[in-house]
Structure formats: C-alpha cells, structure tokens
Amino acid sequence: MEYYTYAYLREDGTPYYIGKGKNDRAFRKNRKLRPKSEKQILILKSNLTEEEAFKHEIYMISVFGRKDIGTGILRNRTNGGEGTSNVIRSRETLERQSKSKIGNKNPMYGKKRPEHSKRMSGDKNPAKRLETRLKQSRTVTGKGNPAYGRKWWVNCYNQRVYQKECPGDGWINSMVWK
C-alpha cells in the first residue's frame, strides 16, 4: 500500500494531468508537465496497491477525458494503467542499451564537454572521489537527510505541511519520505 494517484492543476483549479506515483514522483522538479507551484499538485488517493492505483488512474482519466483524442481536458497521452514499476532489466538488455549509445548514436558524439561538467567530475584521485561520493550519499539518504521521518500532510483546502507529526484535525497523510 505505497502507491497514490495525483493530479496536476491549472491556475483555475481544473486538472490537466492525472498520474500514478510512489514516493515523491508527483513532486519531482524534473517532470515535464509538473506545475510551478506545489499548491497545484493534488493527491487524489493514497495508500493504494499498484493495481488499485492503476485502476484509479484509468478511472480519473476516463472521467476528465483526453485532449489529444478530443474527449476532454487532460494532456495525458494514454488512458492510464501502463508503466513499469520496480523493473529489473536483464544483463543482456543493459548491454544492448549501452551498445545502442556508442559512437555517432550518442547525443554527445562530436561535441565538447561543457566546462561546468568537467569541474563537477572532481579530483583525478579515485580514492578521493569515492570518499566524496560516500559523504554525499550519507547526506541524501537515511538519518543524514533533513527530510528523514517527515511526511506530507494535506487538508481539504489542498494546503500542504511537511513535518513529522499531524498538524491537527482535517489533515491526512499524503506521502511518506523514506
């Protein structure tokens, strides 16, 4: 029971995208359709199994309809219920994917590496790079992470609070960070 469904909302409060998520998927900044403000992200249903989340996603997309096929207002390009979760690729698949990006098939082929990425690659000493990576890892995962143990709490006005304890009556837990 770790999945949820979510909606991205327009300024006027109407949804423009419905999705299924786990952990922080709906709130990730690198998502193409993600709204600018977190106030425009609504958790529709939480504490679902993956199957329940897929069914709810399909239902909500059918209710609001899709723009691309002229049935409604959503930007979704499918009717929902697809996707992969926790996929473990075989060694053969990983090797095939790796080979497909060699030489002129690589998007960076023939291009110079940007100066900022050269600086980010760090020291040439492998031991020092490993030490730095371990430090970074400790701050992002587990108890070194400031988000450790905190939860998103949402009320009926779609206000969000990010803290360990429930702020009071009328608030529900929408997501747990692990």
pLDDT digits (tens, 9 = 90+) for 104-155: 877 777 877 666 555 555 556 566 666 776 666 665 556 656 666 677 777 7
Residue 125 pLDDT:
59
Structure tokens at 170: 């009328």
Q: By percentage, how much of the chain surpasses pLDDT 70?
A: 72
Higher pLDDT, 176 or 20: 20
With 70 as the cut, is the pLDDT of residue 44 above it? Answer: yes
Task: Kindly report whether the global pTM for this prediction surpasses the value 0.95.
Answer: no
7 close to 60: Cβ distance less than 8 angstroms:
yes
Backbone region of residue 81 per phi and psi (left: phi > 0; alpha: psi in -120 to 50; beta: other values):
left
pLDDT digits 0-9 by tens, 13-33: 999 999 999 988 898 887 788
With 80 as the cut, is the pLDDT of residue 92 above it? Answer: yes
What are residue 158's phi and psi, to 5 degrees? Answer: 60, 25
Q: Which whole number is the average pLDDT over 35-59? A: 93
Residue 28 pLDDT:
85
What are residue 4's phi and psi, to 5 degrees? Answer: -150, 165
Higher pLDDT, 85 or 38: 38
Residue 153 pLDDT:
77
Local confidence band at 51 (pLDDT 50, 70, 90 cut-offs): very high
DSSP 67: T
With 70 as the cut, is the pLDDT of residue 8 above it? Answer: yes
Q: Which whole number is the average pLDDT over 5-17? A: 94
For the chain, give percent helix, strand, coil, nearest 5. 30, 20, 45
With 50 as the cut, is the pLDDT of residue 176 above it? Answer: no
